[in-house]
């Protein structure tokens, strides 16, 4: 009798490989492809409301003002930039060279009515400080609710 066994492929097999691939990608992303320690691509941001001014502080260690973009558009503040790091160490018998890089973007919604000309940004010692004058809000009025007669 001839062997009539047919190699069976499971329809779920491609999904298994896709999940495996996603896990590998996540693993390499977590460990920062291209360098150690991994570059944090999402800067930490604090937003405070003080005396009519919204203050936004972002930690951007190692970046210079030319590496950072701040824009106000469609009612939101966008902070973006790119970090590039390169290390090279030369000894007698070897050269150690490492490069790492990454881009980031943070979008922070602001209250309606913010005047774009009131946005000020300053980067000093790896800390970005953005101040935005709060819009003068419309006064609130209590409206009496009546029952129809």
111 is a domain residue: yes
Report which of residues 90 and 79 the model is more confident about: 79
pLDDT digits (tens, 9 = 90+) for 4-49: 444 444 555 567 777 777 776 666 665 555 444 444 567 889 999 8
- Domain ranges, residue 40: 15-133
56 is a domain residue: yes
What was the pLDDT predicted at 46? 92
- What's the CATH code of the domain at 29? 2.60.40.790
Report which of residues 42 and 56 the model is more confident about: 56
Assess whether pLDDT exceeds 80 at residue 98. Answer: no
Assess whether pLDDT exceeds 60 at residue 102. Answer: yes
1 is a domain residue: no
Assess whether pLDDT exceeds 70 at residue 143. Answer: yes
71 is a domain residue: yes
45 is a domain residue: yes
82 is a domain residue: yes
Its sign, for the CA torsion 28, 125, 116, 44, is positive
What was the pLDDT predicted at 93? 82
b (16+ CB within 10 A) / e for 33-46: eebeeebeeebebe
Assess whether pLDDT exceeds 60 at residue 113. Answer: yes
Mean pLDDT (the chain, rounded): 77
Assess whether pLDDT exceeds 80 at residue 90. Answer: yes
What was the pLDDT predicted at 129? 94
**Counted domains in the chain:** 1
10 is a domain residue: no
What was the pLDDT predicted at 127? 92
Report which of residues 88 and 36 the model is more confident about: 88
118 is a domain residue: yes
Assess whether pLDDT exceeds 90 at residue 57. Answer: yes
């Amino acid at each position: 009798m001839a062997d009539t066994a047919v190699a069976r492929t499971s329809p779920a097999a491609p999904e298994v490989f896709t999940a495996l691939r996603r896990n590998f990608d996540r693993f390499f992303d977590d460990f920062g492809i291209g360098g150690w320690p991994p570059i944090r691509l999402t800067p930490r941001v604090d937003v405070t409301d003080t005396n009519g001014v919204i203050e936004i502080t972002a930690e951007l260690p190692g970046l210079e003002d030319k590496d950072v973009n701040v824009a106000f558009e469609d009612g939101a503040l966008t902070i973006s930039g790119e970090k590039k790091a390169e290390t090279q160490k030369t000894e007698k018998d070897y050269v150690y060279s490492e490069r790492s890089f990454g881009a980031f973007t943070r979008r922070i919604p602001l209250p309606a009515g913010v005047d774009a000309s009131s946005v000020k940004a300053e980067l000093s010692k790896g800390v970005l400080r953005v101040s935005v004058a709060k819009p003068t809000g419309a006064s609130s009025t209590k409206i009496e609710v009546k029952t129809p007669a």
